[in-house]
Amino acid sequence: MINVAIMGHGVVGSGVAEILINHPKRIADKVKDEVNVKYILDLRDFDNLPYSHKFIKDFNVILNDPDIQIVVEVMGGCTFAYDYVKACLLAGKSVCTSNKELVAVKGAELIKIANDKNVNFLFEASVGGGIPVLRPMVQCLTANEITEITGILNGTTNYILTKMINDNQSFSEALANAQALGYAEKDPTADVEGFDACRKICILASLGFGKHVYPEQVATKGITDVTLEDVEYASRLGYVIKLIGKARKLDNGNVTASVSPTLVSRSNMLSGVSDVFNAIMIRGDEVGDVMFYGRGAGKFPTASAVVGDVIDCAKHLKARKYLFWEDPSEPFVTDSSKDITKLYVRVKTNNTKALCEKLVEIFGNISYIKNDAENEVVFLTENDIEQVLLCKLEALHGIESIRTLHVID
Ligand code: HSE
C-alpha cells in the first residue's frame, strides 16, 4: 500500500481527495498497488464528510510518519507551503503540487532538493489546470529545441475579455459577472493584473528553456485598462484582445518573457480560445507549432492533473521524472522590450490630420483608422524591436495621450 497525505482541503484539495477516495480500484489498477489517503491537513473542521476521520491539523504528523511516501500540496501561497514542501522533500517524500506561485518562485531550489534526495517533485497542475502541457513539452517534444511559448494562461481574464468582445460588457461589468459565477476571486488582483499568468509563463519558460525564469524578470501588465474602444478598434483591424503570456529564446541563448494584453489576429488559433478556457502554443524546431487546449482552472480539471501526478509518482517511487531546470549562474532573461514585436498604437491628438502626415513620414505607408469624432488615430506598426518602435513614437507631435499594446499575427 502507498500512503498519501494531502495538505489543504480547499477547491482543488477536496477534488484530489474525492478522486483518490472515490476511485480506489481505477487507481490501484494503474499503480498495481493500493493508494491510500492517510491524512488530510487543514486547520478548518470538516465534520460531515465520509472521510472526516482523516483530517489532522499538525503538519509534523505527516513529516514524521515514515509510511507517507507522497505528499500533495494544494494549500497555495509561498510561506507555509514552501516550508512544508521543502521539509517533505528533505525527508525523502515525493511532492505533487498545483501551487504555481511556489513553483514559479522556488522551483529551482525545490527541484534540486528533490534531485539530491532522489524523490519526485511534480507540478503538472500548476499550469493550465487540467491541460497536460508540462510533461508533453519535456517528454513528447524532447527531440526539439523549444523556441517559443505563447499562451492564454488565465481563465478569469479570458472570460472577462470574451464578454467584452462578444457581449460589449465593460471591464467592470464582466469582472462582476466572473465573480458571480465563481471564476474570479473576491480579490481578483492576481488574475486581472497578470500575476497569475506571469507565474505560469515562468514555469513554462523555466521548463522549456532549462533555467529558472523568475516572476520579477517578466514584464507583466494586466487587463485593467483595456477598454471597449480598444476591443472595437482591434475588431476593425481583424484582431481580438487576449491576455498573452509569451517567452522566446533569442539567438544568443537568452530568453525574453512577458505578460500583456495583446491583439491576436483572427487567423491565429489562440484567437478562438474563449471563456474560461486556456491554450498554450509551443514551438519546437522540428515539430513546428503544437497547441494544448482545455480547462485551465476548476476543482476537478485541476485535481485531475494533481492525481495524474500522484499516480505517476506512485508508479515511479524509485525513479526520477525528468521535470527539471537549474538556477542560472549568469544573466538569462533579457528585457522583453529588446525583442521584436508589432505594436497597436492608439493616439489621442489635437490635430488628427497633422498626426497622420507625421505617421507616414516616420513609419512609411501604413494604414490607420482616423477617428475625428474622438480625435483619435489608431494604427499597427510593422515588426521591429519594441524599444526602437517606442523611440519612433516619441517623435510624433501633437499627442495628448498614447497607448500601445503588443500584436501577434
Ligand atoms: N485564477 C486562475 C484562473 C485559476 O482564472 O485561471 C487557475 O490558476
- 15-69 residue pLDDT tens: 999 999 999 999 999 999 999 999 999 999 999 999 999 999 999 999 999 999 9
* Cβ–ligand 1 contact at 76 (below 6 Å): no
Distance, CA of 364 to CA of 207 (rounded, Å): 41
Contacts of 129 (CB under 8 A, 6+ apart): 155, 278, 294, 295, 296, 297, 298, 301, 302, 305
Nearest CA to 281 out of 322, 306, 324, 246 is that of: 246
**Total H helices, total E strands in the chain:** 14, 17
- Please give the distance of CA 145 from its chain centroid, rounded to a whole number: 21
* pLDDT at residue 90, as a whole number: 98
Q: What pTM did the predictor assign?
A: 0.96
Fold of 145-294: Dihydrodipicolinate Reductase; domain 2 (3.30.360)
Distance, CA of 165 to CA of 171 (rounded, Å): 10
Nearest CA to 45 out of 36, 56, 59, 61 is that of: 56
Q: What is the mean pLDDT of the chain?
A: 95
Distance, CA of 47 to CA of 157 (rounded, Å): 35
* pLDDT at residue 367, as a whole number: 83
Equal CATH topology for 2-130+299-315 and 145-294:
no
User: Which atom from ligand 1 is nearest to the alpha carbon of 297?
Assistant: 7
Distance, CA of 401 to CA of 395 (rounded, Å): 13
The amino acid present at 259, given as its one-letter code, is V
Residue 243 DSSP SS3: strand
Look at 318 and 79; give whichever has higher pLDDT. Answer: 79
Helix 11-22 × helix 299-315 angle, to 10°: 50
Output the nine-digit C-alpha cell for 342: 508589432
Inter-residue contact 169 to 163 (CB < 8 Å): yes
Please state the length of the chain. 409
Q: Per-residue pLDDT tens for 257-310?
A: 999 999 999 999 999 999 999 999 999 999 999 999 999 888 999 999 999 999
Distance, CA of 290 to CA of 270 (rounded, Å): 11
How far is the centre of ligand 1, averaged over its atoms, from the C-alpha of 153 (Å)? 8
Q: Which of 162, 183, 299 to mutate to test the pocket of ligand 1 (most atoms within 8 A of CB)?
A: 183
Q: Is 200 a catalytic residue?
A: yes
Q: Whose CA is nearest to atom 8 of ligand 1?
A: 297
DSSP letter for each residue of 58-123: -HHHHHT-TTEEEEEE-S-SSSHHHHHHHHHHHTT-EEEE--HHHHHHHHHHHHHHHHHHT--EE-
Nearest CA to 404 out of 263, 232, 235, 229 is that of: 263
| CATH class assigned to 2-130+299-315 | alpha beta
User: Which atom from ligand 1 is nearest to the alpha carbon of 302?
Assistant: 7
Q: Which residue stretches of 137-275 are H helix? A: 155-167, 171-180, 189-192, 195-209, 228-237
- Residues pairing with 249 in the sheet: 255
Q: In the predicted model, is pLDDT for residue 408 greater than 90?
A: yes
The residue extents of the domains of the chain are 2-130+299-315, 145-294, 340-408
Q: Which of 200, 249, 342, 358 is catalytic?
A: 200
Q: In the predicted model, is pLDDT for residue 326 greater than 80?
A: yes
Q: Determine the longest span between alpha carbons in the chain, in angstroms.
A: 77
DSSP letter for each residue of 337-358: GGSEEEEEEEEEES-HHHHHHH
Q: In the predicted model, is pLDDT for residue 397 greater than 80?
A: no
pLDDT confidence bin for 322, thresholds 50/70/90: confident
Q: Does domain 340-408 have CATH number 1.20.58.220?
A: no
Inter-residue contact 317 to 3 (CB < 8 Å): no
* pLDDT at residue 190, as a whole number: 95
Q: In the predicted model, is pLDDT for residue 184 greater than 80?
A: no
Output the nine-digit C-alpha cell for 358: 507625421
